[in-house]
Every structure is written in C-alpha cells, then in structure tokens.
Chain A
C-alpha cells in the first residue's frame, strides 16, 4: 500500500474493485466501516459477483471478469471530458505537461514499435522528448498535442460510456453513477482510496489494471494524501516482507535490479541503475544505487567483498532469462531442472494447470518440501483417485519432507500490507522435531560449505566466503539477522569535507560497529554494511524499532508513528509531500498532513522529501522517479505507456471490441505464452462460460483446510452459478456438477445464487461459473478437486502473475 490500514478511516470514498475486503481482509475492512460511520464516507464495489463487500456498499456495479481496464479507461475519459481533475496537482506533480516523442503512436490495438514475431515492443518511440541539457521538454499550457495530457485525452476518448458498457456488461447508468462519485474527489478537500487485490493482479493485464487506477488517483490528486493512495490488500501476513527481501529473480533486497548477462561490468551495472535526474533539482533517489548495492555485498560477503574485486560482483549469479514460477515449472516440464526446494508454498494446488504441474514435478530428481503441514505438493506422487490420478511407480522423484515450525513457533518480524514491520515472539516449542525455516537453511548451508571445504568443487569461493558471523552457525537468531538487515558502520564514519571550511577536521558521525540511523548514511566504498536499504534504520542504536508498541497517535489520523517500523524511514504514507500544494500549504486543512513551516517539512509523519528542500526549489514529491513527478505515460510497462483493454486469453467474445479488426490484438500482445499452453486454451464454442476462482471468508487458500474449526464452517467444496444458468442447464441447488476447462475438471456441489447474474456483453448473454479454491486431497475438510486443475498457464506481460480470474469452462450435471 502507498498508505496503510488505519489510514482508510480518513477517506471520503472507498472504491473496492479487483478485491473483496469484507471477506478476504475482514479486520482491515473495519476501517472502511469506520470511515462510513464516522466520516459518512461512501463505498462503491465493482465486481463480477455480489460479494459481502458489495452487500454493505452504497453502490454495487457488476463487471465482466477481465474488463477492468475498459471500465477504468471509461472513468479516465469521463474525468478528462468533464474536466473533473485536480488541476494544480496534475500540472505540478505528474508528467502531464511533458512532451512525448514525435514517433509515438497507437493504431488499432498496437502501440508504435511492435514486433509481432517476438511479441515484444521496441520502446524507442515511447517516453519524453529531452532537450539539449538532458532534461525533459514540457509545455506548461498543456495544449501541445504531443504533451502527455493531450495524448491521454486522445487515447481514452475511445472509451465512451457506450463502448464501456458493451465490453464490461455494466449497465451504462450504473457506470456513469460510479464515474460521478469518483469525480467528486477531484476537489482538493475530498479524497478516494482504492482497495484492490487478486481480482486485479490475477490477469494477463494485471499490472495495467493497477496502473490505470494509479493514473486516476493522480488525475484526482489523491496520492500522498490521508485517506487516499493506491492500496494493495496483499495475500499473506508476510508476503510484503518477503517481497521486500526480494526472494524473486528480478531483484536483490530493496528492489534493486539484479544483474543480468548484459551487465558485463560492475561499473556498468551500477551506472545503468543509478538514475540521474531528468529535471533540475530532482532527488531521483535511485542515484544512490551504488551505496545500497555495495552495502548489500558487504552484508553478504563481508571482508571478502573489497574494492579490488568489485565488491564480489562476479559472485552474484547473472540472470539470462525469466525465472518466475511459471517459467520455473515450464523448465521443469521440459526436464531442465534437477531439484526443487519448496518452503511454505503448495504449488501443485496454487499454480495453474494441475496436470502440467504434476508432470513437471515428476521429472525432478529431488524435491525438498519444508512445511509445518502435509501439503498436496509433498504428496504429488501419491494416487488419490480422481483427485490426483498418478501412478507412484512411474514417478522417480526422491522427495524429502522436512517439518518446519509455524508462525507461532518463530520469533521475528512480519511486514503487513501497509509496510509496517512488527516484531513477534515465539511460544518456544514446536511439535516433534520441527525446526525453524532459518535453521533448516542454515544447516543446509553449513553442510554444503563443509563439503566444499573438504572436497572442493565448482566455484567454491562464494560458498566459502559467504559472510556467516552468527554466534551459532546453524541457528542464526532473528535479532542478529535484523541487525544485519538494518545495517552498520564497518569503520569509523567521518563527515565529508565541508566545501565552506575545507581545513575543518572531520567529525565522527558513527563509530565502527554501530548500527546506522538510516540509509542516507550508507556508502559505496565498502565502509558500511546493510542487508536491505529499505529497512535501514529499523534496528538502530536505539534498538529494535520493529518491536515498538506505542499506541500513541498524536494527530488522530491513525499514523501510530511508534508502533513498529514502517519502511522507508518510518514513513507511514508514501509521497506525503504531495499532501501539500506547490507552496507547501496542505491541500486540505481538515486532514493537514505534511507542510513547509518556513525552514523545513513537518507534520504527523516523516516527510517523504529532503527535510530542508524549500518549495521554491520545485523538488517533486515522487522522489524515486528521475523526473520527480508521477508518470501518466510510463515506458516501463511491457504492453504500452497507456493501459489498453485486451481480453483475457480465454474469453467468450473471440474479439477485442476496442480494435475489432485486429485479430492479433484480442489479448495482451506482449504477454508470454509457451508452446503447448497456447494449444491448451479452450474456445467458446466448447467452453461458453467465464470461469473464475476466488476465496471464502472462512478459509485461507489451501491452508485452513487443516484447521478443524474452519473445516466445520466450510467443510465441503462447491461451485456457484446464477439462477439463470441453473435453469438453462437443469441444475438444482446442491446437485453435484462437473465443471470442465480444456485442461481439467472439478466435481463439486452447485450453489445456485442470486449473487451471480449473467452480463449482457455486446448484445450477448454471458454466464459465469465461480469456483472457490480451498479444497484438496490433504486436510481435515472433505477432500475436493484442486480448483487449479481448470486454470490456464499464462500470466501478466510484466510480472507473469497467472490469469486465474478469467478463463473458459463448461458445466453439466455430474
């Protein structure tokens, strides 16, 4: 989240779209209820089905799965056509005034630069025009047809209310009513918050779904404001923390781009990522990349990382290809993987196309599962009849199942969706011989290191030199690890020479061995160590700040500045300088946040700005961007600088109504589809209904089926269909049905409900079949088919999140 959970209470309008907070995040949803009761805030829910969030909303609008960009594109069109934007905010805090390049264009589904063969864009025509000084060229009047504002207007003029309704199935009057409400927050003293989750991410256009909303929030001036922001309701208690520690292939801790084969030198690697400002005076905070990276290498390789060996740059593996989980299982499926370590994750249940996953796992030489519970993945080789139809004799994978502790038995910090890291304690005892994940990993590493010491082998150096300063080598404590993450001085740190007094002796800023106060202290010369610059400061000389438990909230805005530690730098709302106008005066006095007091930025939160940057210097609030402002035109996206509607890969129409004459642009032209998976897509003549997977209030993924009380309240698998579809197919409530996709099938009881209604899409009636995911063949609930037997193996073009939310199925009585 750019904001945080309690901050939701400060809003005037809540939009829940691509999410279902009342059911999936019930205790967080209480803040929506608070806003509605205390501030008379309104709640709008836009969703394919009438969820429990919808049940308490002021307005519910239905929407066909996978058409969110069409809907939101229509909202952008409404805002621009009716001039319902926060003008000053847009002009000063976004790139609306910047000129795009002459060659940039969009025609019939493709942007300029599309390579059909490779399914990738040459982005040289995208982006801003730069002047001779290397800075962006802008038109302050926003009249130049090349400026971002005019390009935006032109692009979204195609998303008329009629067109939106045709594609999404949302009745036009309901769509316009939503637009009106959203437009009301363009006033400086009204804000909207967006709460979204997997309903947006789990699509082949997932990243652009979210981006469209971010653009709307920018046009309305809702970023950096209390009660505003773009707020992801994430899926697991520490998925935010694990994401921040960057346990995925594209990045190193703190979201630093990981080295690729193209980064042949250390200097080149750093230079490409230390982005210089694109306008005068901008902070462009990634300029400091070198300091963060070198400090990380000192944490990982300690004294073995020196200036002479480029701080052990070569010991880091370089990335040559995608290694996201779909790519990993594709490689596995092709027999290119030998081993797999699976920690607290159940891919056989959680990833798409069970049949393909099972075949992939069967090709491994060794599988190591570390989990507190017995999972489907750990027993992928066992026959469970129709639920897992395999022959163990044919599966040669050696499988190790290691008992891990669960959350209650581990001490350490968790970071919630609002970026607040909090320390938790352990009850101190686990069942049987279960061990903490960190101990399991430490043991494996220590054993490997011992073997490399004794026997040698390929590239032993990084293994032998991995910095391992822990008191007990096989049991590093969370305290030791958090200190390492937060960072320390390795030598006495002296102040840099003062240009005004060059003869002045340097001051001692920090002693060797002391924890750094913040990432601003980090250096690129090997004198500091820091495992994750974003978390730097969370364990300072003052102690473990994630363990703070102060319930003091001086401003009353729910900031709780001393409860835990909110990255970065304990900032609770990101981009909070944007809560004030260009002169430094709060846009909204009633919810005044940061402001310029004549000498510095001040307010209830840590300013997201250099504290002494006077407003006249025009330092933009979006300090990580080299332009200093937020992007309406974003070249970092795979399929285009402006989001465009593309249909899910399995869709009921067979045509993209935004570009009906271009059959190559029906679905995301930049998304990756593997050979074999393309053939596994179903067609609407055989699978006429939109299938979708989702979650129930009482269960969490494939986890709570092991808990008796949750099993009691939701014991048995079911699928949901509308009364209309039930009538068409002669299915009665509770009857066993078979739901089939081109990849597999699920048998369950049918729940016939009013909460699902068919849409009218381009004159055609389209039905949906809803498949809650929570059952499998290991648990204390009744066993059930894995829902992901049905789903397609294709993901978002930017981040490869699978398209679980929109695919094609058929249904019949079982």
Chain B
C-alpha cells in the first residue's frame, strides 16, 4: 500500500505499530523510524487500593505478560482509578511511588531465621519455618496457658505470646487472624489503630 509520511503517522497513532501494518500487508514506500505502540495497550488492568493512608485511593495496576506458565506478569505502571468516587483518578506523592515500593530491592523473598546470638540470616524452607514456629508456640501454650484463675474462674488465657496485626492486610485476612489468635487463647493482640 502506498502512503505518505503523514498518512502513515495517522494510521500508527491509532495504536498499530509499524510491524503490525507490515504483517497485514501494508507497508510504507519509505522506511520510517519504528513507531512505538501505546505502552499500556497490551497490559492487563487490575483494580486495587493504595495501602498507605485511609483515603484508600483506588488504583489501577497495569501488568504485562500473557499469563502463560513460564511468563510471570510484571507491573509496569500504576495510576489512580478515575472511577473511584473518592480520589477520582488522582494520587498523592506517596501513592505515585507505589511501583517502587512493590519492586523495592528490600522486598522479602524467602523465609529466614536468625539464630540466638548470631549476626546473620539463614534461609530456610517454608515447611521448616512453619514447623519450628509451631513447635515454639505449642511448647509455650502447653506450659503457660492459664486455665483457671485464682478465684476459680475458667479463663483459658495464654498471655506469654503477643501479636501485632497488619493494617495493610485485607479485612478477610484480619478476620482470619483474630479467629485463629482468639481460638488459640491469645489476649495480647493489638493493631496500628492503637498508636
């Protein structure tokens, strides 16, 4: 197909890159600089909520990667969700930097343990971590759970272990945490709401 430079740019602005045009059988008579497609075109949009302050702005996360088994999606952009009635697509400096937090070099990746007196971390497996932690907790609970207080009242209280809950975890996660901790007999539980 014959087209001049202006026509070519008009067509490409619609989102098709030069390579797509070529595939479809059209190609300009002149070779022009490769036009980049709009970056977000082939991304998947996921709607989430910024975890920082309690405006809880709606965000849209754009991931690239087709979801095939060996192709892990990567977030390439985050912006405010225009549909959200509260933030209407805006974000503040904290939220605007979300991608850098998600992709921070300081993200924890593997279970680790620091032995008493040691100066370093040692990587362990999840199974080992859960086993060792559960052993600690059971030994602690078996020895220290108070079934009856001095007045003879059944109290079933385990107060030698404590728990601080995350305020960036979902309601469902929080609910499960309180169900489990109360079910184990824990009383020393608290949250960021306190401070």
CB distance from A298 to the nearest CB of B (A): 12
Asked whether B14 is an interface residue with its Cβ less than 8 Å from the other chain, the reply is no
Asked whether A51 is an interface residue with its Cβ less than 8 Å from the other chain, the reply is no
CB distance from B99 to the nearest CB of A (A): 8
Set of chain A residues within 8 Å of B115, measured between Cβ atoms: 398
Asked whether A421 is an interface residue with its Cβ less than 8 Å from the other chain, the reply is yes
3 closest A-B pairs by beta carbon, nearest first, are: A344-B166, A412-B170, A432-B109
Segment 302-316 of A: residues with Cβ below 8 Å from B: 314-316
CB distance from B10 to the nearest CB of A (A): 33
Set of chain B residues within 8 Å of A713, measured between Cβ atoms: 93
Let me know if A343 and B177 touch, CB within 8 A. yes
Set of chain A residues within 8 Å of B53, measured between Cβ atoms: 24-25, 28, 233-237, 700
B25-47 interface code vs A (CB 8 A; 1 in, 0 out): 00000000000000000000011
Known: A410-B173, A424-B48, A426-B46. A27 touches B92 (CB 8 A): yes
Contact among A341, A406, A414, A481 for B56, CB-based, below 8 A:
A414
Known: A317-B182, A318-B156, A406-B102. A392 touches B117 (CB 8 A): yes
Asked whether A109 is an interface residue with its Cβ less than 8 Å from the other chain, the reply is no
Set of chain B residues within 8 Å of A336, measured between Cβ atoms: 159-160
Let me know if B101 and A703 touch, CB within 8 A. yes
Let me know if B166 and A401 touch, CB within 8 A. no
Segment 79-133 of B: residues with Cβ below 8 Å from A: 80, 83-88, 90-102, 104-119, 121, 126, 129-133
Segment 126-155 of B: residues with Cβ below 8 Å from A: 126, 129-138, 140-145, 147, 149, 151, 153-155
CB distance from A505 to the nearest CB of B (A): 38
State in angstroms the CA–CA spacing of A418 and B85 once bound together.
Answer: 12
Let me know if B172 and A395 touch, CB within 8 A. no
Nearest chain A residue, comparing its CB with the CB of B178: A247
Nearest chain A residue, comparing its CB with the CB of B80: A27
Known: A340-B161, A481-B176. A802 touches B130 (CB 8 A): no
Set of chain B residues within 8 Å of A202, measured between Cβ atoms: 195
Task: Select the stretch in A444-452, A647-655, A718-726 that faces chain B.
Answer: A444-452
CB distance from B120 to the nearest CB of A (A): 9
Set of chain A residues within 8 Å of B113, measured between Cβ atoms: 398-401
Task: Select the stretch in A78-86, A285-293, A323-331, A490-498 that faces chain B.
Answer: A323-331
Let me know if A247 and B90 touch, CB within 8 A. no
Set of chain B residues within 8 Å of A418, measured between Cβ atoms: 86
State in angstroms the CA–CA spacing of A234 and B54 once bound together.
Answer: 5
Set of chain B residues within 8 Å of A521, measured between Cβ atoms: none
Set of chain A residues within 8 Å of B172, measured between Cβ atoms: 412-413, 438, 476, 478, 481-482, 485
Contact among B119, B151, B169, B171 for A261, CB-based, below 8 A:
B151
Asked whether A411 is an interface residue with its Cβ less than 8 Å from the other chain, the reply is yes
State in angstroms the CA–CA spacing of A643 and B43 once bound together.
Answer: 55
State in angstroms the CA–CA spacing of A237 and B52 once bound together.
Answer: 5
Asked whether A30 is an interface residue with its Cβ less than 8 Å from the other chain, the reply is yes
Known: A314-B156, A341-B162, A343-B165. A441 touches B87 (CB 8 A): no
State in angstroms the CA–CA spacing of A202 and B195 once bound together.
Answer: 7
Segment 157-195 of B: residues with Cβ below 8 Å from A: 157-195
Contact among B100, B109, B171 for A412, CB-based, below 8 A:
B171
Binding site for A on B (CB under 8 A): 46-58, 61, 63, 72-73, 75, 80, 83-88, 90-102, 104-119, 121, 126, 129-138, 140-145, 147, 149, 151, 153-195
Interface class of chain B by DSSP: mixed
CB distance from B145 to the nearest CB of A (A): 5
Set of chain A residues within 8 Å of B145, measured between Cβ atoms: 458-459
Set of chain B residues within 8 Å of A426, measured between Cβ atoms: 46, 48
The CB with the most chain B CB atoms within 10 A, among A243, A253, A372, A485, is that of A372
State in angstroms the CA–CA spacing of A382 and B137 once bound together.
Answer: 24
CB distance from A109 to the nearest CB of B (A): 28
CB distance from A422 to the nearest CB of B (A): 6
Let me know if B142 and A458 touch, CB within 8 A. yes
State in angstroms the CA–CA spacing of A366 and B140 once bound together.
Answer: 10
Contact among B88, B126, B129, B187 for A317, CB-based, below 8 A:
B187
Let me know if A264 and B51 touch, CB within 8 A. no
Set of chain A residues within 8 Å of B161, measured between Cβ atoms: 337-341
Nearest chain B residue, comparing its CB with the CB of A342: B164
Set of chain B residues within 8 Å of A435, measured between Cβ atoms: 126
Nearest chain B residue, comparing its CB with the CB of A436: B173
The CB with the most chain A CB atoms within 10 A, among B95, B142, B149, B182, is that of B182
CB distance from B18 to the nearest CB of A (A): 30
Contact among B57, B114, B126, B169 for A410, CB-based, below 8 A:
B169
Asked whether A425 is an interface residue with its Cβ less than 8 Å from the other chain, the reply is yes
Let me know if A343 and B61 touch, CB within 8 A. no
State in angstroms the CA–CA spacing of A410 and B98 once bound together.
Answer: 15
Set of chain B residues within 8 Å of A247, measured between Cβ atoms: 163, 165, 174, 177-178, 181, 189-191
State in angstroms the CA–CA spacing of A374 and B110 once bound together.
Answer: 11
Contact among A299, A323, A399 for B190, CB-based, below 8 A:
A323
State in angstroms the CA–CA spacing of A299 and B147 once bound together.
Answer: 23
Contact among A264, A425, A484, A707 for B98, CB-based, below 8 A:
A707
Segment 338-358 of A: residues with Cβ below 8 Å from B: 338-345, 347, 350-351
Asked whether A133 is an interface residue with its Cβ less than 8 Å from the other chain, the reply is no
Asked whether A794 is an interface residue with its Cβ less than 8 Å from the other chain, the reply is no
A sample of 14 cross-chain residue pairs with beta-carbon separation below 8 angstroms, ordered by A number, consists of A249-B187, A318-B153, A318-B154, A319-B187, A323-B162, A350-B195, A395-B117, A398-B136, A427-B75, A431-B107, A445-B183, A485-B175, A710-B93, A780-B105
Let me know if A400 and B86 touch, CB within 8 A. no
CB distance from A303 to the nearest CB of B (A): 15
Set of chain A residues within 8 Å of B114, measured between Cβ atoms: 381, 397-401
A436-473 interface code vs B (CB 8 A; 1 in, 0 out): 11100111110110011001011100110010000000
Contact among B54, B136, B153, B162 for A236, CB-based, below 8 A:
B54
Known: A433-B109, A448-B134. A459 touches B169 (CB 8 A): no
Set of chain B residues within 8 Å of A478, measured between Cβ atoms: 170, 172-173
Set of chain B residues within 8 Å of A69, measured between Cβ atoms: none
Nearest chain A residue, comparing its CB with the CB of B115: A398
Known: A347-B164, A417-B55. A408 touches B109 (CB 8 A): no
Contact among A350, A451, A531, A549 for B83, CB-based, below 8 A:
A549
CB distance from A310 to the nearest CB of B (A): 11
Set of chain B residues within 8 Å of A402, measured between Cβ atoms: 108, 111, 129
Set of chain A residues within 8 Å of B162, measured between Cβ atoms: 323, 328, 331-332, 337, 339-341
Let me know if A373 and B106 touch, CB within 8 A. yes
Let me know if B108 and A780 touch, CB within 8 A. no
Known: A237-B49, A242-B191, A709-B96. A780 touches B171 (CB 8 A): no
State in angstroms the CA–CA spacing of A448 and B184 once bound together.
Answer: 9
State in angstroms the CA–CA spacing of A481 and B179 once bound together.
Answer: 11
CB distance from A373 to the nearest CB of B (A): 5
Nearest chain A residue, comparing its CB with the CB of B87: A27
Let me know if A697 and B194 touch, CB within 8 A. no
Let me know if B183 and A466 touch, CB within 8 A. yes
Let me know if B85 and A462 touch, CB within 8 A. no
State in angstroms the CA–CA spacing of A246 and B193 once bound together.
Answer: 10
CB distance from A798 to the nearest CB of B (A): 12
Known: A410-B173, A804-B195. 13 other contacts (CB 8 A): A323-B187, A328-B162, A337-B188, A340-B163, A395-B117, A400-B111, A400-B132, A401-B112, A412-B173, A417-B56, A441-B173, A459-B147, A482-B172
Contact among A300, A428, A457, A707 for B73, CB-based, below 8 A:
A428
Let me know if A400 and B173 touch, CB within 8 A. no
CB distance from A332 to the nearest CB of B (A): 7
Let me know if A408 and B179 touch, CB within 8 A. no
CB distance from A193 to the nearest CB of B (A): 15
Set of chain A residues within 8 Å of B154, measured between Cβ atoms: 314, 318
State in angstroms the CA–CA spacing of A382 and B118 once bound together.
Answer: 9
Let me know if A485 and B171 touch, CB within 8 A. yes
State in angstroms the CA–CA spacing of A5 and B57 once bound together.
Answer: 11
Set of chain B residues within 8 Å of A703, measured between Cβ atoms: 52, 101
Asked whether A673 is an interface residue with its Cβ less than 8 Å from the other chain, the reply is no
CB distance from B167 to the nearest CB of A (A): 4
